[in-house]
Chain A
Amino acid sequence: MTQQETPVRKVPVACTLNGQQTEFLAAPYQSLLEALREVVGLTGTKEGCNDGNCGACTVSLDGRIVDSCLVLAAEVDGKSVDTIEGMAPPHGLHPLQQAFLEEAALQCGICTPGFLVAARALLEREPHPDEHRIRLWLAGNLCRCTGYDKIVRAVQSAADKTT
């Protein structure tokens, strides 16, 4: 049976999504980004470039941040995925989300979920990064609006508060 003769079949994916066991069907060529947004219905993860340059689609995969546009949905079977939807506690905001609001670290907001997910991963590893480290860690996230300074300040402010 060759691939050319059979239409490409969807594959079942079972993963832990924001702490919840989740199952869905994805086309084998579908990106994790597309599956999250269009199959699972979690649209908090954004598409900027769809080629790994902008970081708007950043999610955490087994504890490492990745560009979900460059991951196949089929790959996350058996893995753990954390998106922006899982960031805030049930009532309230994550300290980083609060800091982004207070420091006005967003304008149009399309880059924000990616920055938040990436920054959370940094602070989980290194609770008190210096400015240089923050900028380096966030180099894979682009923002067309803020000029980055406010984003860096927001991350610093959230880090200070979680002492």
Chain B
Amino acid sequence: MHPFTYVAPRTLDEAVAVLEQHGERARPFAGGTDVLVQLRGGRFDLDAIVDLKGVPEATSLDLNGSLRIGAAVPCYRIYEDSAVAAAFPGLIDAASLIGGIQIQSRASLGGNLCNASPSADGICPLIVHSTVAVVQGPQGERRVPVEEFCTAPGVNVLGRGELLVALEVPAPARGFGAAYQRFIPRNEMDIAVAGVASALTLSDDGATIASGRIALAAVGPTPLFAAKASAFLAGKPATPETFAEAGEIASTEATPIGDMRGTAEHRIELVKVLTRRTLAIALGRAQSNR
């Protein structure tokens, strides 16, 4: 492994300056559960690692109706916060299944997003929550919807000197519910063969879907917002038939490959099943949020 220095900035400006100076030879470092593994595997070399855990904006978790998750906040802080867990069960589904306990002590949703793996478990739940990524760079701040953040496997929209500061999750509307499920051959500690996050908001009648969002993991080059299936949900009755049809539509939006984890056909079927199931869970959560 190429020797690198360890930089621990205390401010956002310092972090941006170091990243800008080094360009591709430096990377931000949150929990390190992806980047250290990739460095050791020889995926790339670095001259500097920029630890964000000393930067206040990247390590705070603020619930104020909406939720602001600092980019380097580890998963356990999200699911052990009872107020956050009660308000955002759809995010907890992901935060509590990334790796095992040791990994959850370190791994952040920000790192999960920036790593831009198609099979990442954290990204689809953020997408269905309409989360916005707050980015800081040499030119100041910009905001990117999470569904536009990943551009190819392992590639994101960040330019030289830019880093993710935080994830802003809007306050759940009355009648909103969300859920994430993945399929893995084991019970835990594995990479998703496919994953689906669903969210829906019930109309005042409690029986009609006002709007819905569906996102798919591990069935395309990036985590994917299923636009057609999402649009289909609006105005439909919140019934198993609707959920099944949404699953059929979502499966047409998936572009899976076959690999050692599963065939493309298997992944298509999984999208249908997981869409149905996550919509049903989201409905239950929506009903208890009215």
Do chains A and B stick together as partners?
yes
- A residues near B (Cβ < 8 Å) are 2-4, 7-9, 11, 27-29, 31, 50-53, 55, 58, 61, 64-67, 69-72, 74-75, 118, 121, 136-141
Interface contact A51-B47, CB-CB below 8 Å? no
Q: Does B187 contact A (CB under 8 A)?
A: yes
Interface contact A74-B25, CB-CB below 8 Å? no
Interface contact B99-A140, CB-CB below 8 Å? yes
Interface contact B100-A139, CB-CB below 8 Å? yes
Q: Contacts of B36 on A, CB cut-off 8 Å?
A: 31, 52, 69-70, 72
Q: How far is the CB of B55 from chain A (nearest CB, A)?
A: 14
Q: How far is the CB of A5 from chain B (nearest CB, A)?
A: 11
Q: How far is the CB of A118 from chain B (nearest CB, A)?
A: 7
Interface residues of B in 1-53 (CB under 8 A from A): 1, 3-6, 8, 21-22, 25, 29, 31-33, 36-37, 40-41, 47-49, 51, 53
Which among A31, A64, A69, A70 has the greatest number of chain B C-beta atoms within 10 A? A70
Q: Contacts of A2 on B, CB cut-off 8 Å?
A: 21
Number of interface residues of B (CB under 8 A): 33
Are A67 and B102 also in contact (CB < 8 A) when A4-B47, A28-B6 are?
yes
Are A118 and B101 also in contact (CB < 8 A) when A3-B25, A140-B189 are?
yes
Contact string against A for B residues 187-209, beta-carbon threshold 8 Å, 1 for contact and 0 otherwise: 11100000000000000000000
Partner of A70, one of B8, B33, B189: B33
Q: Does B232 contact A (CB under 8 A)?
A: no
Partner of A53, one of B8, B21, B189: B189
Q: Contacts of A9 on B, CB cut-off 8 Å?
A: 5
A137 to B103, CA, bound (A): 11
